[in-house]
Amino acid sequence: MLNKGVTLWFTGLSGSGKTTIARAIERRLKASGCRVEILDGDIVRTNLSKGLTFSKEDRDINIRRVGFVANLLSRNGVIVMVAAISPYREIRDEVRSMTENFMEVYVNAPLEVCESRDVKGLYAKARAGTIKGFTGIDDPYEEPLDADVTCYTALESVEESAAKVVAQMESLGLVPVVQSVNGRQ
Ligand code: ADP
């Protein structure tokens, strides 16, 4: 059985684990023969949305573009994983309303945890004032009110978070249920 197209929208603070979990899911799904694409916010901003700033207006334009591409792919049978901070609830809901199969995944970790990880060194720059308008520091993050799945990455392993998302996809019939060789998901 083939997978259905779906957009998995990972939202959360920088360093919360969106990309890491999306990559883990990608490995699982590709191993089961699913068609998968990842639209990573950091990469999108170097091409599709190159030149956009981090003002609310530009962030919204960026999210609309990503949502547009995700919708094109997912309606053609691709599992699209978007990993983008996407801090504003209204634009996330707008994208949800224009996308046929849409799952919102809230990648939740306390700011202190994200900041201590500081994967890209951006929190240090934001604290030093070198970067302005950084989400969580001097720009808002609006939590999802009704996410389809919430991953608590300060409490769960990457594989546990990935398994939760895949289980939800399976229960919605978006991917076939596949047991791995050792019987665990
Ligand atoms: P984001 O895409 O949200 O900015 P990244 O995935 O780039 O975040 O970075 C998250 C960091 O947190 C990675 O270094 C990852 O290894 C680490 N990490 C630790 N525990 C987890 C977890 N349970 N889930 C996801 N990432 C985790």
Write down the pLDDT at residue 181. Answer: 45
* Angle between the N-to-C axes of helices 56-74 and 89-98, in degrees from 0 to 180, rounded to the nearest 10: 20
Chain-centre distance of CA 88, in angstroms?
Answer: 14
Domain parsing of the chain, residue ranges: 6-171
DSSP state of 87: -
DSSP assignment letter at 175: S
Residue 178 pLDDT level (bands cut at 50, 70, 90): low
The pLDDT tens digits for 32-50 are 999 999 999 999 999 999 9
Q: How many residues does the chain have?
A: 185
Mean per-residue pLDDT for 94-98?
96
180 has a pLDDT exceeding 90? no
How far away, in angstroms, is 4 Cα from ligand 1 center?
Answer: 27
Nearest CA to ligand 1 atom 27: 17
Residue 64 has pLDDT above 70, yes or no: yes
Residue type, 124: A
Q: How confident is residue 2, by pLDDT bands cut at 50, 70 and 90?
A: confident
> Has 32 been annotated as catalytic?
no
Q: Which atom of ligand 1 is nearest to the CA of 12?
A: 3
The whole-number average pLDDT for the span 81-92 is: 98
Give the nearest ligand 1 atom to 40 CA.
2
Q: What pLDDT is attached to residue 183?
A: 45
Residue nearest to atom 14 of ligand 1 (CA): 119
Mean pLDDT of 153-170: 97
Residue 133 scores a pLDDT above 80: yes
In angstroms, the CA 158 to CA 87 distance is: 22
Residues with CB under 6 A from ligand 1: 12, 14-21, 83, 107, 117, 119, 153, 156-158, 161
- Chain-wide mean pLDDT for the chain? 94
Give pTM, 2 decimals. Answer: 0.94
pLDDT confidence of residue 124: 98
Gap from CA of 79 to ligand 1 centroid (Å): 21
Give the per-residue pLDDT at 179. 54
What's the CA-to-centroid distance between 18 and ligand 1, angstroms? Answer: 7
Given 14, 49, 86, 161, which residue is catalytic?
A: 86
Does the domain at residues 6-171 carry the CATH identifier 3.40.50.300?
A: yes
